[in-house]
Amino acid sequence: MLRHHRSYEEEASCTFPLDEEGKVAAIQAAVGFGGYDFMPKSGGLASRGDTRVWACVTHVDCPAKLKVVSEDSVFELFCSTDVHSEQRAALPSTFKGISAEFDSKVQELVGQGLSPKWIHAELVVWCGDDESKKGRIPTKSKIAARLHKLKSSPLFKFETFAHLKMWAEGKLIDSKAKFEAVVNVDELLVYSLFYEEIDIPDELEGAAEGAMIETSTFGFIFGSKKTALQFRDVRHFVHAHPQQHQPMELN
């Protein structure tokens, strides 16, 4: 069994349902896991009793890899215990889609309704003075393809709570260790998910006055490591200087 393989972590980092949607989500998570780019080393992933390995292509001669295993009831994603190398590599010409370095930011800008041209311009600004990073910005055509895929994907529309949960796999920060392990301080992080059954007014034609219907609401709380650290610093400052932050007295 993989969980006893010495080159991989003992526990799975993510799990996904053992169906076609779960397989797509598992592959999507592996390709950009942890903000790095991975490409498959082995063939396709069967529904049960199979494995697929991905190798890091973000860094030169990087030993880091991932493996997705299809067990009896779930797909499980395991990380290798090898540490990523530091020297960044040019992505292979066969790499498809947008690098994990920019994927979350592109997704955020797509959500704002921006066009590929404006998204590209925003990415240039986002890179600041990092000329090397600017050189890795995806082309407008790749951004356009990603925009189309996101807008037509249930993982972006979040039509169900299950879709939201699959999208959040790999982004959910539910421990101090996971937070501290985040390298890209601007990466989109999910801090928690919520789901509730609520009653809302029945506005359908013919509904009785005051009638209510039950529906569900769900969503997520998100941010970046940078904003979380900024909030921490503000909190520490307020606690250290309480006299500067007394409630204003109204005459």
Tell me the domain boundaries of the chain: 1-92, 97-170, 177-245
Whether the pLDDT of residue 246 is over 60: the answer is no
CA 244 to chain centre: 39
Tell the burial category of 20 from Cβ atoms under 10 Å away from its Cβ (0-12, 13-18, 19+): exposed
Distance CA 188, CA 226 (A): 10
- What does each C-alpha distance from 41 to 7, 52, 56, 67, 68 come to in angstroms? 16, 7, 10, 10, 12
The confidence score (pLDDT) of residue 125 equals: 93
The confidence score (pLDDT) of residue 7 equals: 84
* Percent of the chain residues past pLDDT 90, beyond the cut: 21
Query: Which residue in 169, 187, 193, 171 sits closest to 228, CA to CA?
Result: 187
CA 47 to chain centre: 24
- Token pair of 187, please? 């990466």
pLDDT band at 38 (very low <50, low <70, confident <90, very high): very high
The confidence score (pLDDT) of residue 56 equals: 94
Distance CA 149, CA 100 (A): 15
Tens-place pLDDT, residues 69-98: 887 788 899 999 999 999 998 888 888 888
Which three-class secondary structure state does DSSP give residue 229?
A: helix
Tens-place pLDDT, residues 185-220: 777 788 888 888 888 887 777 778 888 888 878 888
Distance CA 130, CA 124 (A): 9
The predicted model gives 108-112 an average pLDDT of 77
The predicted model gives 32-52 an average pLDDT of 77
Contact between 154 and 28 (Cβ < 8 Å):
no
pLDDT band at 4 (very low <50, low <70, confident <90, very high): very low
